[in-house]
Amino acid sequence: MKDLKKHIETNEDRLLDELFEFIRIPSVSSKEAHKADMYKATEWVKENLLKKGADKAEVCETQGHPVVYGEKIIDPGLPTVLIYGHYDVQPPEPLELWKSPPFEPEIRDGRIYARGADDDKGQMFMHFAAFEYLVETGQLPCNVKFMIEGEEEIGSPSLGQFLKDNREKLAADVILVSDTSMLGAETPSITTGLRGLSFCEVHVTGPNRDLHSGLFGGAVANPVNVLCEMIGSLIDENGRIAVKGFYDDVEELSPEEREEMGRAPFDDEKYKEALGVEELAGEKGYTTLERTGIRPTLDVNGIWGGYTGEGAKTVLPSEAHAKISMRLVPHQKSEKITQLFKDHFLSIAPKTVKVTVDFLHGGEGYVSPTDTPAYQAASKAYEKTYGIKPIPYRSGGSIPIISLFEHTLGIKTILMGFGLESDAIHSPNENYPLSQFFRGIETIPYFYRHFVELHRK
Ligand code: BES
Ligand code: MN
Ligand code: MN
């Protein structure tokens, strides 16, 4: 690729200025108060795509936050790459834990600190920058389409319909996504698996009002106590989930496949140190990468009830609530697992309380094959930039819409992520190393070139 590195170097400051402008729009999809920011973000994405050389870019209304679609079709006879990304971000709270404000990007120690710096504004913008380079230098080897959504962080509730309504428009040979991570800054890897998800909220109701915990405590069931006991029974002493039927469809990997996975360099000691924990936890008999990559899990994401304000208040709460997510592996179906969880959770409820379970969102996992032109192209691209052949590995995260890309559009996705575990996505002080940002921009054009070459064969 002619002058690729030079092009990136020359444009470093401007590219960062543009990304920072984008990051400054607080496009938090989960909050009604940010509705106007979602529109601002779509306008920004549209304008930026046009500026970077797209023939066409439009903001498409949906039931929820709009999708931005853009394209540059140079020759209908050539392959088409569809770039997917998301302009929405997670809420920044708790604000007091940020060293610099979440929507005022700041560079410290070679990293961009801000909400969305990695997930997914920083990673998505690498594609815009790579596209600009290819267009400007006349080296774009294929057609490119962009589909940038604003509801990924809330489970993409409107994108499924958008896919159904726009099959023709979205036709492509491969979908390229940078919204995952690599095993380490010097350990390039390609995400070959994402977990599915079933996300529920449970409610436990006891007495018809908050009670004095002295006058009534011991005589009336405490919903918070009950909820904790119920949750405590969901995972057994071996780290296995006690929901009946939960493991029925779980894909069991062969010893050979597990051995292959085990070759990925991973250091439990460093992992513990980075997270500040003495010991790791999880299902017995599996390594850390297996526990996140190929095994399903159940986690409480939030729990509340009773008095949580300053100081003490002696109260026996009338209600308790929790948000519970289950990460699923290939062959487990989100809908079925949600039903199994509901049935199980209701079946263990004592008569002393009322229990209800609501479904929040869910979706299927994804496994990406490694014997395709797209995987080979991605592999060659990373190798060119990082000097080492990337390792395939299954991530613990979820991007449920990826399985719908396959089912609704019939297109496979390649996950070329450049995030690092230390990027603190969804956490305070989210950050993205400049080196990953620029190496990502460098890697993407190689993908295009190799993909077009291999596709022709
Ligand atoms: N980009 C992440 C997913 C991710 C990150 C996958 C790193 C692999 C490695 C995405 O934005 C995300 O946060 N997804 C949600 C699911 C969604 C339905 C809320 C998740 O995994 O919790
Ligand atoms: Mn993301
Ligand atoms: Mn995310």
Q: What is the CA(110)–ligand 3 centre distance, in A?
A: 22
156 in the same domain as 216: no
Q: Which residues span the domain enclosing 171?
A: 4-194+365-456
Q: Of all atoms in ligand 1, which is nearest to the CA of residue 155?
A: 18
Residue 275 lies in a domain: no
Q: Of all atoms in ligand 1, which is nearest to the CA of residue 396?
A: 8
Region 121-138: mean pLDDT is 98
- Specify the CATH number for the domain of residue 200: 3.30.70.360
Rounded Cα distance, 293 and 398, in Å: 11
For ligand 1, whether the C-beta of 423 sits within 6 Å is no
Residue 279 lies in a domain: no
Contacts of 109 (CB under 8 A, 6+ apart): none
Q: What is the CA(195)–ligand 1 centre distance, in A?
A: 9
236 in the same domain as 92: no
Asked if residue 189 has pLDDT above 80, the reply is yes
Report DSSP state, residue 158.
Answer: T
CB atoms inside a 10 Å sphere around CB 285: 11
Q: Of all atoms in ligand 1, which is nearest to the CA of residue 86?
A: 11
Where a domain ends, among 310, 335, 363? 363
For ligand 1, whether the C-beta of 150 sits within 6 Å is no
For ligand 1, whether the C-beta of 193 sits within 6 Å is no
Crossing angle between the packed helical segments 434-456 and 121-136, to the nearest 10 degrees: 60
Residue 309 lies in a domain: yes
372 in the same domain as 309: no
CA dihedral over 240, 241, 242, 243, signed as positive or negative: negative
pLDDT score, position 457: 75
Of 119, 120, 149, 418, the residue with max ligand 1 atoms within 8 A of its CB, to mutate for a pocket test, comes to 119
For ligand 1, whether the C-beta of 89 sits within 6 Å is no
59 in the same domain as 25: yes
Cβ atoms of 172 and 76 closer than 8 Å: no
Residue 307 lies in a domain: yes
446 in the same domain as 389: yes
Q: Where would I find the H helices in 24-67?
A: 35-51
Q: What is the CA(356)–ligand 2 centre distance, in A?
A: 30
For ligand 1, whether the C-beta of 179 sits within 6 Å is yes
Tell me: the pLDDT tens digits for 292-340?
999 999 999 999 999 999 999 999 999 999 999 999 999 999 999 999 9
Q: Which two tokens stand for residue 202?
A: 């449970």
pLDDT score, position 408: 98
- Specify the CATH number for the domain of residue 369: 3.40.630.10
Residue 240 lies in a domain: yes
Residue 398 lies in a domain: yes
3-state secondary structure of 86: strand
Of 89, 181, 425, the residue with max ligand 1 atoms within 8 A of its CB, to mutate for a pocket test, comes to 425
Cβ atoms of 18 and 444 closer than 8 Å: no
pLDDT band at 1 (very low <50, low <70, confident <90, very high): confident
131 in the same domain as 85: yes
pLDDT score, position 446: 98
Tally the C-alpha atoms within 13 A of residue 354's C-alpha that lie toward its C-beta.
7
pTM beyond 0.85, yes or no = yes
Number of domains the chain contains: 2
pLDDT score, position 261: 87
421 in the same domain as 313: no
127 in the same domain as 220: no
Which residue is associated with the tokens 């360099």?
A: 265
Of 297, 398, 420, the residue with max ligand 1 atoms within 8 A of its CB, to mutate for a pocket test, comes to 398
3-state secondary structure of 416: coil
Rounded Cα distance, 170 and 71, in Å: 10
How do strand 174-177 and strand 413-415 relate by DSSP bridges?
A: parallel
Residue nearest to atom 10 of ligand 1 (CA): 399
Q: Of all atoms in ligand 1, which is nearest to the CA of residue 419?
A: 7
Q: Which two tokens stand for residue 35?
A: 């509705």
Tell me: the pLDDT tens digits for 198-249?
999 999 999 999 999 999 999 999 999 999 999 999 999 999 999 999 999 9
Residue nearest to atom 5 of ligand 1 (CA): 180
Active-site positions read 88, 152
Rounded-to-5 percentages of helix, strand, coil across the chain: 35, 25, 40
Tally the C-alpha atoms within 13 A of residue 58's C-alpha that lie toward its C-beta.
5
Tell me: the pLDDT tens digits for 36-63?
999 999 999 999 999 999 999 999 999 9
Rounded Cα distance, 96 and 168, in Å: 47
29 in the same domain as 175: yes
